[in-house]
Amino acid sequence: MASSLLSSAASGLPPKPQPPSSTPPSSASARPRGFRRFMLARAAAGRDPEPPPLPEGTEKRSLAVRTGEVFLGLAALLVRAGRGGGAAVEEVEAKDGVVWEQRPEDVEAERRRRELTGPGFSFSAAGLLFPYHIGVAQCLIDRGYLTERTPLAGSSAGAIICAVIASGNTMRDALQVTKDLADNCRSNGTAFRLGAVLKDVLDRFLPDDVHIRCNGRIRVAITQLSWRPRGLLVDQFDSKDDVISAVITSSFIPGYLAPRPATFFRNRLCIDGGLTLFMPPTSASETVRICAFPASRLGLQGIGISPDCNPENRASPRQLFNWALEPAEDEVLDKLYELGYLDAAVWADQNQVELIVKNEQPLRVTD
């Protein structure tokens, strides 16, 4: 099934890589111990078998990477508890106290955008699984779902792909830049320096007018810290630097992107948006949610595109969580791109663009 879908996909796909090894890299001993491993095992792998012990001589994960694992596990548990969904802004505000930074003069424009017949697309937090989102985006572009007007929203890596789509850059170029970033991190380390590397990459990759392209179209989810974490939605940007600051803040896993527990955005103390808004709502009347992790393992329902769409030839949940924190080799990044493309193709086959855009046909989602 996967091969037939891929052969019918656009010719712009990168060469199909060899499937990655069935044995994922592991950072645990034969039996996980402690609170961190408990959370990660519960959130990421459900009842999957325990991973094998580390091969002799394998280097253990750094403290910063362990911090990232704890954060991802906590975010997954919060998602399971029912937070961070893709409801309308008004519903999210009522439930979770989300702060929506929309200027008064943009309210009318928001109302007009809701009259679009096509759906918007919301991309989940994903860490370094970014190529999965690139593959999904390429398929949606090829099939005609993503246009220059399509509303977008995202958290963490999902926020980055929204900015990349709005920028007008090609997904092929985005994949190559991702490989360059991964190569830099493999050579020089990831933890504590990923934020600076990412900022430099985005500064070179995004056009100078990216803030104009993003204004009113994309929503970036951020977690604002006060007496309790609150979701912050940003859809207006003053400059290219403002866009880059927003998406990096949305991706800020404490102690992972930089050696500090939080960062500042517009004079607010903030961290990764995936903690409170895993898949934020778009400005469209209907939002298709895209999750780079198996939605069923996170206890999510109503997800449009995820690894649950197409269970053939795919990585295990534990592999995906490992790759979300450590930069994978280029062949794995190609594989993630391919998996995202195939999952989106399965969804697209069930939701024909002509029916959805013109007749507002209800969307089919994964239960």
Radius of gyration of the chain (CA): 19
Which of 26, 27, 155, 156 is labelled catalytic?
156
Is there a domain that residue 365 lies in? no
Domain carrying residue 253: 118-351
pLDDT of residue 244 exceeding 90, the answer is: yes
Is there a domain that residue 90 lies in? no
* Spatial distance between the Cα atoms of 164 and 157, rounded to a whole number of angstroms: 11
**What single letter denotes the amino acid at residue 343?**
D
The model's confidence at residue 339, banded by pLDDT at 50, 70 and 90, is very high
Assess whether 272 carries a catalytic annotation.
yes
Which of 235, 272, 308, 334 is labelled catalytic?
272
Is there a domain that residue 3 lies in? no
Q: The CATH number of the domain where 265 resides is what?
A: 3.40.1090.10
Is there a domain that residue 148 lies in? yes
Alpha helices in the chain (DSSP H): 2-8, 34-40, 63-80, 89-96, 107-113, 130-143, 157-167, 171-188, 194-205, 210-214, 240-250, 317-325, 330-350, 353-359
pLDDT of 65: 55
Token pair of 282 as six digits: 């778009």
Is there a domain that residue 290 lies in? yes
Per residue in 134-161, pLDDT (tens digit) is 999 999 999 999 988 899 999 999 999 9
pLDDT of residue 333 exceeding 70, the answer is: yes
User: What mean pLDDT value characterizes the chain?
Assistant: 76
Assess whether 155 carries a catalytic annotation.
no
More confident residue, 110 or 208: 208
Instruction: State phi, psi for 194 to the nearest 5 degrees.
Output: -60, -35
Which of 164-178, 252-266, 317-331 has the highest mean predicted lDDT (pLDDT)? 164-178
Domains in the chain: how many in total? Answer: 1
pLDDT of residue 19 exceeding 60, the answer is: no
Strand partners, 269: 264
Per residue in 270-300, pLDDT (tens digit) is 999 988 999 999 988 889 999 998 888 777 8
97 and 83 Cβ atoms separated by less than 8 Å: no
pLDDT of residue 4 exceeding 50, the answer is: no
Is there a domain that residue 57 lies in? no
The model's confidence at residue 229, banded by pLDDT at 50, 70 and 90, is confident
125 and 162 Cβ atoms separated by less than 8 Å: no
Is there a domain that residue 29 lies in? no
More confident residue, 117 or 50: 117
Is there a domain that residue 23 lies in? no
Give the least confident one: 35-44, 274-283, 285-294, 350-359. 35-44
Read off the pLDDT of each residue in 202-224 and give the average, rounded to a whole number.
Answer: 96
pLDDT of residue 171 exceeding 60, the answer is: yes
Long-range CB contacts for residues 198-204, cutoff 8 Å, separation at least 24: 198/160, 198/248, 198/251, 198/257, 199/244, 199/248, 201/177, 202/160, 202/163, 202/244, 202/247, 202/248, 203/240, 203/244
pLDDT of 318: 78
